[in-house]
Structure 1
Amino acid sequence: MSDSGGFDLQVAVSGSKLWRLKYRVDGKEKLLALGVYPHISLADARAARDKAKAELREGKDPSVLKKMNKFASKLAALNTFEQLAREWYDLQKSQWVERHASDVIESLEKEVFPHIGARPINDLQPTDILPVLRLIERRGV
């Protein structure tokens, strides 16, 4: 099913539906997946199409930008609070007595990681950390 300007809804034999935009960059025809229907409404798909067309007018390839954003998200996800805290711990533990090192990692694993461990470090704000500290305070740890 076509809308206009290379925008369409591809219906697969299985019945799944995918919003797509066909466009050209450097003389090559490309397809950009905009989302799966019904998770992405027609209005949202058209907004994504308009955004992609604006990027094209700026001389940018929307497929390349999409891949770059996906890569940046994956990279941010790798830099979680837990991962960086464990790296910090590994660097510090040689300077501590064994009992203190054990207490530190146990506290992080029990008190902190369950709450903010999976969060990308770039997304954390002081307001995200304060509730965790308050929980620890209330429990008298």
Structure 2
Amino acid sequence: MPLTDTAIRKAKPGASTIKLSDGGGLQLHVHPNGSKYWRLAYRYDGKQKSLSFGVYPEVCLAEARKRREAARALLREGKDPMVERRVEKLARAIAAGNTFAAVADELLAKMTREGRAETTLRACPEGS
């Protein structure tokens, strides 16, 4: 039976983690401390896996269902949703320029603006 928002709000923590199922692999894990986490249980390449969708109520039931459907679409295409998420995250980081070289260049530029000694700047070769 699918979950309802009321049932989720009323879910009380137990002595151990309680799993409430919405169907299609979507589960809400209610931990003993009262926190509630969305997870998708799925199989890929013969192995049982779990993909986190976030914390309730930050991620509502409708949003968790949308994320489940997107992950299931990837599975139908023969792709592992967890790997796809990591690739997407890495691509965003590279696009944002958060590489070590970019951060190092930014630091050297800042040190130059602050008037650091030339010997300090030479100790940090550019482009390495």
Please classify the TM superposition score into its range, dividing by the shorter chain length: 0.5 to 0.7
- RMSD of aligned Cα (Å): 2.9
User: Which runs of 5 or more residues in structure 2 are unaligned?
Assistant: 1-19, 115-128
Which of 61, 64, 68 matches 1:49?
68
Question: How many Å apart are 1:72 and its aligned residue?
Answer: 2.6
Which whole-Å CA distance do the structure 2 matches of 1:12 and 1:86 have between them? 42
Which whole-Å CA distance do the structure 1 matches of 2:84 and 2:75 have between them? 11
With normalisation by structure 1, the TM-score equals: 0.56
The structure that has the greater radius of gyration is 1
Residue correspondences, number: 94
Counterpart AA for 2:90:
F
User: Which runs of 5 or more residues in structure 1 are unaligned?
Assistant: 91-101, 107-141
Higher helix proportion: 1
In the TM superposition, structure 1's runs of 4+ consecutive aligned residues that sit over 4 Å from their partners are: 81-87
- Superposed, 1:13-92 pairs within 5 Å as 13-75=32-94, 76-78=96-98
- In the alignment, what sits opposite 2:120? none
With normalisation by structure 2, the TM-score equals: 0.61
Which whole-Å CA distance do the structure 1 matches of 2:97 and 2:39 have between them? 27
Which whole-Å CA distance do the structure 1 matches of 2:56 and 2:93 have between them? 24
- Larger RCO, structure (CA 8 Å, separation 6 or more): 1
Higher strand proportion: 2
